[in-house]
Amino acid sequence: MELTYRPRRLRRTPALRAMVREHHLSATDFIYPLFVHEGATNEPIGAMPGAMRWSLEGLVQEVGRAWDLGIRCVVLFPKVADGLKTEDGAESFNEGGLIPRAIRRLKEMHPEMAIMTDVALDPYSCDGHDGIVSEEGEVLNDETVSILCRQAVAQARAGADLIGPSDMMDGRVGAIREALDEEGFEHIGIISYTAKYSSAYYGPFREALDSAPRVGAGKPVPNDKSTYQMDPANGRESLTEALLDEQEGADILMVKPGLAYLDIIYRLRGETELPIAAYNVSGEYAMVKAAAEKGWIDERAVVLETLLCFKRAGANLILTYHACDAAQWLSKG
């Protein structure tokens, strides 16, 4: 064949492929999500093989392991005892609560590790929603935002580096930015869950935290989060959310879930100069783990390919439960 262009010329050897490779993964791309509880021992999470609810001391050890592997940021999620859950989620801003204590302990033992937190009421709510649920069954926006601001300030006082509002209430980024600034925390960043979809991929996460909506709680509690999280059918709406979050002071924008929403990451990358994070969520993690346990896929190859695809779509950062495994695999070449 008389061909002028033969793209395979640059695929012929590992050296040539490495020379023209467009995107690369490193451990510093990862934010490692960690679950913490009040127990004295670490508890395996059934739907997430390899993941744990960590005790405080177990958390300290795991964060140290992550640091040694090159990971430079973790995000904390609490498993809160039912007795502390209320309709207004007041435990969320208790400065002696689980997350503030965990932050302080980690900053004592691993001061250089960046700590991101989650700002939402669902772990602290007896109704299982990210916001306050009225007697009529409506998730209240403005009343919730005032609680979220108190939660963010409590986390900042404990030493958090990045505040992550995951609730999807309107106006919460601007309100949290103002609340942080008023308390002298101008230096604390906001990584906003900008395009967080009402997704079926969150199931294992809700098992880990026991944070699913609790229908039948004595009032008409919504059985899903579709009145505030985004409709999976919508793409253009993510641009509206991104514009608002950027105007309100977000430092990093996030898309959640990640793998099924690569097109959203790509859209946002073309519209903003802010860093973009992708959340490789619990359902995505669990499916890979289940298939790997069956021997149906090569776990290492699939995980590294998936994480690389987030980078190719335009993500700068990836929240992933595979973080430590991926960091180890990358270090071995």
- The tens digit of pLDDT for each residue in 135-175 reads 898 999 999 999 999 999 999 999 999 999 999 999 999 99
89 Cβ neighbours under 8 A, 6+ residues apart:
121, 124, 125, 132, 147, 151
SS3 109: helix
293-320 pLDDT tens trace: 999 999 999 999 999 999 999 999 999 9
pLDDT at 312: 97
pLDDT band per the 50, 70, 90 thresholds, residue 187: very high
Residue 301 near residue 42 (C-beta atoms within 8 A): no
Structural domains of the chain, with CATH = 23-331 (3.20.20.70)
Is position 85 annotated as part of the catalytic site? Answer: no
pLDDT at 166: 95
Q: What is the CA radius of gyration of the chain?
A: 20
47-94 pLDDT tens trace: 999 999 999 999 999 999 999 999 999 999 999 999 999 999 999 999
Is the predicted pLDDT of residue 203 greater than 90, yes or no? no
Residue 120 near residue 166 (C-beta atoms within 8 A): yes
Which residue in the list 85, 225, 256, 289 is annotated as catalytic?
256
pLDDT band per the 50, 70, 90 thresholds, residue 217: low
Of the listed ranges 149-158, 165-174, 204-213, 224-233, the least confidently predicted one is 204-213
Is position 107 annotated as part of the catalytic site? Answer: no
pLDDT at 221: 86
Is the predicted pLDDT of residue 43 greater than 80, yes or no? yes
Cα–Cα distance measured from residue 304 to residue 44, given in angstroms and rounded to the nearest whole number: 24
Which residue in the list 196, 225, 289, 311 is annotated as catalytic?
196
Cα–Cα distance measured from residue 119 to residue 125, given in angstroms and rounded to the nearest whole number: 13
pTM (2 d.p.):
0.95
Report percent pLDDT > 90 for the chain.
90
Is the predicted pLDDT of residue 95 greater than 80, yes or no? yes
Is the predicted pLDDT of residue 114 greater than 90, yes or no? yes
Is the predicted pLDDT of residue 211 greater than 80, yes or no? no
